[in-house]
Structure 1
Amino acid sequence: MTENTDIHRLLDEAFAGVAMTPDAQDLKEEVRANLMARAAELESAGRTPAQAARQAIAELGDVRDLLDEDTDAAPRARSDYAALQQRHHVKPKAGFVVRAVVWSLMFVVAATVAILIATGVLPLPVQLTIGLMGVASTGLAYLVGDSLSQETTTNHPMPLNRAAGYFLATLIGTYGLGIGVLVALAALPLWCIVFAAVGVIGAIILFAFLFASQTNRHKAWVRQAQHDASRVRNRFEEEPETAARFGIYSAVIWLVTFAVIVVLVFTVGWWWAPLAFVGGFAAMMLLLARMLFAPDKKA
């Protein structure tokens, strides 16, 4: 698939009027990568490149909001993330809720009846278990595929062709496992395990392909929150004077350490030298911890 050049133009327009500080430039490049991935997903779902680019930009929202969030002094706390979830909350559609209940009941009832027949609790023909396992597998597969194709608070809806892939993988995998259970319960002859193996192996291969080719479905606010949460404050970058003091103190520690090593070697013996080295290293670690994690003087 060729690169969607509309993304670059629309992104430049979205950042028009924004002062391009280093942080803003970093954010722009990160957003660009996310938009390219999202546009590719939309194109695979049938959108034209121009439509995909416009929809991806529209889903992004106002970049100034992202910049405001990006300039927060500390990573987001759990309560901040909960507030963002509440702000961007997407209620499940009523139709989907009804379908999910139907698919779930379809799976549970069919699988339960099949097992009861296979174990002899229900006096019904054993051949029914094959069809019932198919019904149960279909119910679970519909539940998975339908769920993935829905928009959620944190994720964009999965394109229908990919959701169909997960539907198929779930169907053949569950059916294969169901046949395996029936064989284990002696409801089906042992040679039927071949069909179970084919279903399970096919599902594993299909799931592996789907997972490997999956792009990021997270919405822009989730990606930004994850980016903020992954940041680690580097005091040495923020306070050059602290970094300078650390360098001076480190030099002093190691000069003293090597001087002590020389004295020990020529007085009491070389076997005492490692002790001085360990002492110098310990002092270095304490200094590093003290200077990196000291109380913020700007607070």
Structure 2
Amino acid sequence: MNPDIHRLLDEAFQGIEMTPDAQDLKEEMRANLMARADELAAAGATPDDAARQAIAELGDVRALLDDTPDAAPGRGGVDYTSLVLRHRVRPKPGFVVRVVVWSIVATLGITLGVLGATGLLPVAVGGQLALFGLAAAALGLVVGDSLSQETTTNHPMPRTRAVAYGLATFLGAYGLGFGGLVALGTMPVWGIVFAALGVIASIVLFSFLGATQTNRHKAWTREALRNEPPNRFEREPETAARFGVYTAAIWLVTFAVIAVLVFTVGWWWAPVAFVAGFALMMFVLARMLFTPDKPAGR
């Protein structure tokens, strides 16, 4: 726990009449600020810097009090559109430039790799792997950098977690590229093992990150959406956990079937198995999200 949060929060509320609504908001902020300060400290910030940054991200407390349901019209008592416009965060120029550059690199890597794999360009197998690796790395950088940026409604994701999402993207993209080379006959059939390992590792890492992801909405966003009904995964964490297990099982079986098809009837059946696995995952998602809740006691 960071004791500086209490002092800085009291300073932020100086001169504000402590009505019941203001007190409730203050206590909610306290818990959120403590969690945010702990994340910043885990990312390498000093306790004092972590506390000050968490308070700074909070914005003007008086504006947050004005944004409560009793003070503004609209959905759930809040004019959400006006709040979004008021708190809008514009993308940083450096971030925009990086995303454009990495997107171009990813596109070139994929294009040249595919042309080399199909024989339209004289690119050796090692060069094809390097091109797909470059494209996968660029995609990972786009994902990680995007998640680490602050948005209008969300705080920036801690850098280590953003890097982990980028790594998961790299593993999945490179695994699929490796599998594509096997399907085109550029790589030996045993190369499907490396493709499967990359994709499975990506699925496992994405599943872990998704299951451990915390709510990073800003205080004004949580206040504005407080009256919104939660989806089933938010109401029933055990259902969300089951969906993660089902998803991992579906894709493990799918890639096992793809491997069998490649070794037996030919690589052209692999996309059929992939589409079938994706369709099954979407069906399970729809069933788990939209199936009516069972009556109590049944």
Using the size of structure 1 for normalisation, the TM-score is: 0.69
Establish whether residue 115 from structure 1 lines up as the match of residue 114 from structure 2.
Answer: yes
Deviation digits for residues 158-189 of structure 1 (CA, Å, limit 9, x no counterpart) = 23222222222211221111111211222211
Counterpart residue type for residue 58 of structure 1: A
Which letter does structure 1 place at the counterpart of 2:27? E
Tell me how far apart the structure 2 counterparts of residues 104 and 178 of structure 1 sit (CA, whole Å): 17
Distance, in Å, in 1 between the alignment partners of 2:10 and 2:123 is: 68
Among the aligned pairs, what percent are the same residue? 62
Larger radius of gyration: 1
> For residues 77 and 105 of structure 1, do their structure 2 counterparts lie closer, same or farther at Cα, with a shift above 3 Å needed?
farther
CA offsets 1:164-223 (integer angstroms, 9 cap, x no match)? 222222112211111112112222111111111211122222223322333333233222
Deviation (angstroms), 1:103: 0.6
What's the counterpart of residue 9 of structure 2? Answer: 11
After superposition, residues 200-219 of structure 1 pair within 5 angstroms as 200-219=199-218
Per-residue CA distance 1:97-140 (angstroms, 9 max, x = gap): 12111111111111122112222333433442211110110110
Give the corresponding residue for 2:59.
61
Question: What code does the residue aligned with 1:118 have?
Answer: A
Deviation track 1:202-258 (CA, whole Å, cap 9, x = no partner) reads 222222332233333323322222225569xxxxxxxxxxxxxxxxxxxxxxxxxxx
User: Paired residue for 2:179?
Assistant: 180
1:48 aligns to what?
Answer: 46
Counterpart CA distance in 2 for 1:143 and 1:163 is: 10
Cα deviations across residues 266-286 of structure 1 (Å, max 9, x unaligned)?
xxxxxxxxxxxxxxxxxxxxx
Query: Is the Cα–Cα contact under 8 Å of residues 38 and 216 in structure 1 kept in the other structure?
Result: no
**What residue is the counterpart of 2:157 in the other structure?**
158
Q: Residue type of the partner of 1:24? A: A
SS in 2 for 1:101: helix
Matches within 5 A, 1:1-299: 3-70=1-68, 71-72=70-71, 74-76=73-75, 80-227=79-226, 229=228
Work out the CA distance in 2 between the residues paired with 1:229 and 1:69: 16
- 1:296 corresponding residue in structure 2: none
Gaps of 5+ in 1: 232-299
Contact 1:11 1:57 (8 Å CA) reproduced: yes
* Rounded Cα–Cα distance in structure 1 between residues aligned with 2:75 and 2:58: 20
Deviation of 1:67 (Å): 1.9
Q: Give the 3-state SS of the residue equivalent to 1:227 in structure 2.
A: coil
Structure 2: which amino acid aligns with 1:175?
A: Y
Structure 2 CA distance for partners of 1:213 and 1:43, relative to 1, 3 Å? farther
Asked if structure 1 preserves the Cα contact closer than 8 Å seen for 2:139 and 2:170, the reply is yes
Aligned residues: 229
Contact 1:173 1:200 in 2 (8 A): yes
TM-score when scaled to structure 2? 0.69
Whichever residue aligns with residue 188 of structure 1, its letter is M
In structure 2, do the counterparts of structure 1 residues 95 and 62 end up closer, same or farther at CA, with 3 Å as the change threshold? closer
The code of the aligned residue for 2:21 comes to D
C-alpha contact (below 8 Å) 2:67/2:83 kept by paired residues? no
Structure 2 gap ranges (5+): 231-298
C-alpha change, 1:79 and 1:186, in structure 2 (3 Å) is: farther
What is the aligned-residue RMSD (CA, Å)? Answer: 2.5
8 Å CA contact retained: 2:174, 2:195 = yes
Alpha carbons of structure 1 residues 73 and 218: separation in structure 2 relative to 1, 3 Å: closer
1:81–1:225 contact (8 Å) kept in structure 2 = yes
